[in-house]
Amino acid sequence: MIARKLQTVEEYLAAEKISTIAFVGQHSLEDLKKEAEENAAKPHEQLDFWGAFNEDNVMTSHMMSHAHHVLFDGHIVLSAGIGNVSTLPEYRGQGGIRTIFKELFAECLKKGYVFSMLYPFSNEFYRKFGFETAYRPYWQSAEMRDLRAFDCPYTVKMHDWESGIEPLKAVYQKFILGHNMAVVRSEKQWDILESDAVQKKRYLYVLYEGETPKAYVAFRPEQAGNYTNRAVVKNMAWDSTEAFYGLLGFLGRLSAQYGAGAKLYLPSEVDLGAVLPEKYREEHQDLTPVMVRVLDVKRALTLMKQPMGQGKYILEVKDAFLPENEGRYAVNFANGAAVSVEKTEALPDMVCDVTSLSMLVMGTDALDTVKYRRDVRIFGNEDVLFKVFVKKNCYHADNY
């Protein structure tokens, strides 16, 4: 079994068929051919198509890798967003996905990637490759009577997509500050907000104070009864608490069309129930979690925010899939940053698998939670370790 990037129209078409069969999709052959021709004809600066081929040169598996720049403890780093992971049923269990991941990760490391992320169909399956469930988003639902309790003192305009994304970027770049995993979107990656109020029922509004954009909200209707809709808000951003309240107030104006209320996708630290007049009316609904993997352990520890003051800890990392990450790392820190991160033979203060380390480094979970995992063993220096691995604000709302 070998893995490589796709090159020809025929290979792109084979990949389209694999994904369609694996995900029980339904597409016409003409549509698949058209998409394959488009993918083969133009280079993708931020998207790679991979295939695994057996000894008969039959493509058995396929996946896509999206290049994202994401925030990590005040730095902008590269992360590979994995999607379309699929294998033909007759070739499953023969190592096609494993082979692709080996080649893909090797290339990512050469290019300076620090993380990889994906939305899993199975946590257990991806854990074999070093991924772990990290960011666990959920819908937070509110009734219109609670949203109407907030004022909206701003000028609200439906955004004309043809006029550009500058108002959206101005808000979003402030909104994501301090949120690990947030995507620093390229021009192309803003397409996830592209609106079409007439044909696709996708609505996008910007709130202004004078000429200054303060917030935006993108939503679509979801049927919640025979004659009732709910507003589904996957993307919203604001530059202040007041602007957030203004967004809630604007959504409250939509009660005539969305009598069932609204459900919102919010950053990890925002608890809608603590904001609304009546917490008992707020509901949670789990979404597909985001799994994260550290690709370059040394670089992640070097960039990671450290405690104030001075100190040192030694961490032993296990990584069966990327053995180059394995070993003991001595981290010396001062005033919130790593001074040095070097391999050592000294006894470790803590041992963990790369799966647990991915949660700890990103800050989706603190050590006082992760310490209960089977692969985590703490031998000493606990005061320092519990200050190093703390929970951090996270946000990830982009698909791939």
Per-residue pLDDT tens digits for 361-388? 999 999 999 999 999 999 999 999 999 9
Q: What's the pLDDT at 391?
A: 97
The answer on pLDDT for 284 being more than 90 is no
For 182-241, write each residue's pLDDT tens digit.
999 998 899 888 877 777 889 999 999 999 999 999 999 998 877 789 999 999 999 999
Instruction: Using a pLDDT cut of 70, give the percent of the chain over it.
Output: 98
Q: State whether residue 52 is helix, strand or coil.
A: strand
Q: What's the pLDDT at 321?
A: 97
Q: Which one, of 120, 115, 130, lies nearest residue 72 by Cα?
A: 115
Cα–Cα distance for residue pair 303/299, rounded to 1 Å: 6
For 82-100, write each residue's pLDDT tens digit.
999 999 999 999 999 999 9
pLDDT band for position 43 (cuts 50, 70, 90) = low
Cα–Cα distance for residue pair 272/384, rounded to 1 Å: 33
The topology under which CATH files domain 138-285 is Aminopeptidase (3.40.630)
Q: What's the pLDDT at 396?
A: 95
Q: Name the one residue in this structure whose structure tokens are 């290019």.
A: 111
Q: In CATH terms, are 138-285 and 297-388 the same topology?
A: no
Instruction: Using a pLDDT cut of 90, give the percent of the chain over it.
Output: 80
Residue range 2-113, CATH number: 3.40.630.30
The answer on pLDDT for 400 being more than 90 is no
Rg value, the chain, Cα: 23
Question: CB under 8 Å to 90, separation ≥6 — which residues?
Answer: none
Q: Name the one residue in this structure whose structure tokens are 């069932």.
A: 260
The topology under which CATH files domain 297-388 is Nonspecific Lipid-transfer Protein; Chain A (3.30.1050)
Cα-to-chain-centroid distance, residue 354 = 18
CA separation (Å) from 51 to 13, 30, 40?
11, 22, 14
Beta strands in the chain (DSSP E): 2-5, 47-53, 59-72, 75-87, 115-118, 132-135, 138-142, 155-158, 203-209, 212-223, 229-238, 262-265, 283-286, 290-294, 310-318, 327-334, 337-344, 350-353, 377-378
Q: Which one, of 236, 249, 233, lies nearest residue 285 by Cα?
A: 233
What are the phi and psi torsion angles at 28 (to 5°)? -75, 150
Q: Please, are residues 370 and 354 in contact by the beta-carbon 8 Å criterion?
A: no
Question: CB under 8 Å to 92, separation ≥6 — which residues?
Answer: none
Task: Give the CB-side neighbour count of residue 11, counting CA atoms within 13 A.
Answer: 19
DSSP character at residue 172? H
The ranges assigned to domains in the chain are 2-113, 138-285, 297-388
For 18-35, write each residue's pLDDT tens digit.
988 888 776 677 777 777
Buried b (16+ CB within 10 A) or exposed e, 290-304: bbbbbbbbbbbbbbb
Average confidence (pLDDT) over 306-316: 97
Task: Give the CB-side neighbour count of residue 24, counting CA atoms within 13 A.
Answer: 0
Q: What's the pLDDT at 367?
A: 98
Question: CB under 8 Å to 56, separation ≥6 — which residues?
Answer: none
Q: Which one, of 356, 393, 104, lies nearest residue 266 by Cα?
A: 393
Q: Give the mean pLDDT of the chain.
A: 93
Q: What's the pLDDT at 286?
A: 86
